[in-house]
């Protein structure tokens, strides 16, 4: 049986894809109510991560941050001590490469195999099974789960050894965060200069300077509706992971650190649960 832990915005939809493809699933989430729709579709409930491990030989995790992953894996009633030898843990959460390597070591101590397999793509691609996986770990372990990843994603890229999936993911999210913030500043300036908001947004989107993903943020900015697809607090977390990793690599990232603090301010001012495109609203409201 397949275990799935972490049924937030992304995990609930990804687990739903596995169920829709006919896979038997045992699921757990810190808040049980988020599991209800999946239980109604036939998933089995586990009262703890430990209980997931007692019934599964592959466990997927899709959790908020490194602390959440560590708690669920090796905290009280964590799953890792209870998985059978030879089982496979696939962590799809966005964490930093050093953390992935540490979790791989923890898994290895218990003779459990490990892949880091974070995803690019948000709520809608998760719903449609159109995510892109960046995977670190052994090629043969990836081949074993590839058919499952293909239920959830349209592409699976093997980036190399353990930690290289999360390494590529934070490189991507550095661009995502900065492109969003730069766009938000440009729109803010355009409006201050007297242009209508929709006109500035559409002019930018029609030119060569806007990143393609920004088209999906158009209506949020124009209508001022920031219902989360990718919560702003996770974007700030990802920039924190970028900064930490850059320090470990002795690389200077001046813009990333400025961006990290911009998102941190927005988080403190109440935008944490909104979509990260609310960075625009934060700039407007200041």
Ligand X SMILES: NC(=O)c1ccc[n+]([C@@H]2O[C@H](COP(=O)([O-])OP(=O)(O)OC[C@H]3O[C@@H](n4cnc5c(N)ncnc54)[C@H](OP(=O)(O)O)[C@@H]3O)[C@@H](O)[C@H]2O)c1
Site membership for ligand X, residue 234 (CB under 6 A): yes
Binding mask 52-91 for ligand X (x = CB under 6 A): ----------xxx--xx--xx-------------------
Listed in sequence order, the residues at least 6 apart from 4 whose beta carbon sits closer than 8 Å to its beta carbon are 11, 14, 15, 18, 25, 26, 27, 28, 43, 52, 59, 60, 62
Contact criterion met (CB below 8 Å) for 147 and 22: no
> Smallest Cα–Cα separation from 69: which of 59, 82, 83, 84?
59
Distance CA 199, CA 283 (A): 18
Site membership for ligand X, residue 4 (CB under 6 A): no
In the complex with ligand X, the residue whose CB is nearer, 168 or 200, is 168
| Region from 27-35, 104-112, 187-195, 245-253 binding ligand X, contact rule CB under 6 A | 27-35
In the complex with ligand X, the residue whose CB is nearer, 7 or 221, is 7
Site membership for ligand X, residue 166 (CB under 6 A): no
Structure tokens at 96: 């930093």
The string over 32-49, giving b where at least 16 C-beta atoms fall within 10 Å of a residue's C-beta and e elsewhere, is: eebbeebeeeebbebebb
Q: What residue is closest to ligand X based on CB?
A: 8
Nearest-approach distance from CB 242 to ligand X, in angstroms: 12
Residues in the interface with ligand X (CB under 6 A) total: 27
In the complex with ligand X, the residue whose CB is nearer, 81 or 191, is 81
Nearest-approach distance from CB 274 to ligand X, in angstroms: 12
Distance CA 11, CA 43 (A): 13
In the complex with ligand X, the residue whose CB is nearer, 74 or 198, is 74
Q: Using CB under 6 A, which residues numbered 124 to 163 contact ligand X?
A: none
Backbone angles phi, psi at 280, to 5 degrees: -60, -50
Site membership for ligand X, residue 29 (CB under 6 A): yes
Hey, is 2 helix, strand or coil? Answer: strand
In the complex with ligand X, the residue whose CB is nearer, 54 or 127, is 127
DSSP E strands, 140-239: 153-160
List 2, 3, 4, 6, residue binding ligand X (CB under 6 A): 6
List 4, 89, 230, 271, residue binding ligand X (CB under 6 A): 230
Contact criterion met (CB below 8 Å) for 168 and 101: no
Distance CA 16, CA 4 (A): 10
List 2, 3, 9, 245, residue binding ligand X (CB under 6 A): 9
Structure tokens at 64: 């908020």
Site membership for ligand X, residue 122 (CB under 6 A): yes
Active-site positions read 169
Site membership for ligand X, residue 93 (CB under 6 A): yes
The string over 224-247, giving b where at least 16 C-beta atoms fall within 10 Å of a residue's C-beta and e elsewhere, is: eebebbbbbbbbbbbbbbbbbbbe
In the complex with ligand X, the residue whose CB is nearer, 15 or 200, is 15
Give contact residues for ligand X (rule: CB under 6 A). 6-11, 29-31, 34, 62-64, 67-68, 71-72, 93-94, 119, 122-123, 229-231, 234, 238
């Amino acid at each position: 049986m397949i275990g799935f832990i972490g049924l937030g915005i992304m995990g609930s939809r990804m687990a739903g894809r596995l169920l829709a493809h006919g896979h038997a699933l045992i699921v757990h989430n810190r808040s049980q109510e988020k599991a209800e729709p999946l239980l109604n579709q036939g998933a089995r409930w586990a009262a703890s991560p430990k209980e997931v491990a007692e019934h599964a030989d592959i466990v997927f995790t899709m959790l908020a941050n490194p602390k959440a992953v560590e708690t669920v894996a090796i905290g009280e009633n964590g799953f890792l001590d209870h998985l059978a030898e030879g089982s496979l843990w696939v962590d799809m959460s966005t964490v930093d490469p050093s953390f992935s390597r540490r979790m791989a070591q923890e898994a290895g101590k218990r003779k459990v195999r490990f892949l880091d397999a974070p995803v690019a793509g948000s709520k809608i691609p998760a719903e449609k099974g159109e995510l892109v996986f960046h995977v670190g770990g052994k090629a043969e372990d990836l081949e074993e789960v590839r058919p499952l990843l293909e239920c959830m994603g349209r592409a699976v890229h093997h980036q190399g050894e353990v930690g290289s999936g999360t390494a590529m993911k934070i490189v991507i999210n550095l661009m995502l965060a900065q492109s969003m913030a730069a766009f938000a500043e440009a729109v803010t300036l355009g409006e201050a200069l007297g242009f209508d908001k929709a006109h500035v947004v559409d002019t930018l989107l029609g030119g060569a300077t806007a990143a393609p993903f920004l088209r999906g943020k158009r209506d949020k900015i124009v209508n001022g509706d920031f219902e989360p697809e990718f919560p702003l607090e996770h974007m700030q977390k990802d920039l924190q992971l970028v900064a930490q990793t850059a320090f470990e690599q002795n690389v200077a990232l001046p813009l990333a650190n400025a961006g990290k603090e911009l998102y941190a301010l927005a988080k403190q001012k109440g935008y944490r649960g909104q979509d990260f495109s609310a960075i625009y609203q934060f700039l407007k409201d200041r």
